[in-house]
Amino acid sequence: MVIVMDMWQAVEAAYEQGIPASDFLETHRQFKQVIKSIGEERQLGREFEGVSGYSLYHALQSAKKAPDKLLKMKGA
């Protein structure tokens, strides 16, 4: 449960103040050890986006493109 909450906090950080992409990717790696199914990850991501307006998918894609930079997402 703590690891899943850490993932949502990392997504929020990416949208609100920025987070090193490497930290975001590490948090996602730990998240995937708990949530192994891509279907479940997508479902949880959609639910979180519906509540917060922040997209796990888009943040993850941006972090993968520039893993050595600060991840700062725009919009909600």
Residue 76 pLDDT greater than 90, yes or no: no
CA dihedral (38, 52, 17, 34) positive or negative:
negative
CA distance 50 to 29: 23
Under 8 Å between Cβ of 72 and 18: yes
Give 61's pLDDT tier (boundaries 50, 70, 90).
very high
- Sign, CA dihedral 34-17-54-56, equals negative
Q: Kindly state the average pLDDT of the residues 41-68.
A: 97
The pLDDT assigned to 42 comes to: 97
When mean pLDDT is compared across 7-21, 40-54, 62-76, the lowest value belongs to 62-76
Percent of the chain with pLDDT over 70: 99
pTM of structure: 0.93
- State which H helix or E strand residue 30 sits in: helix 21-34
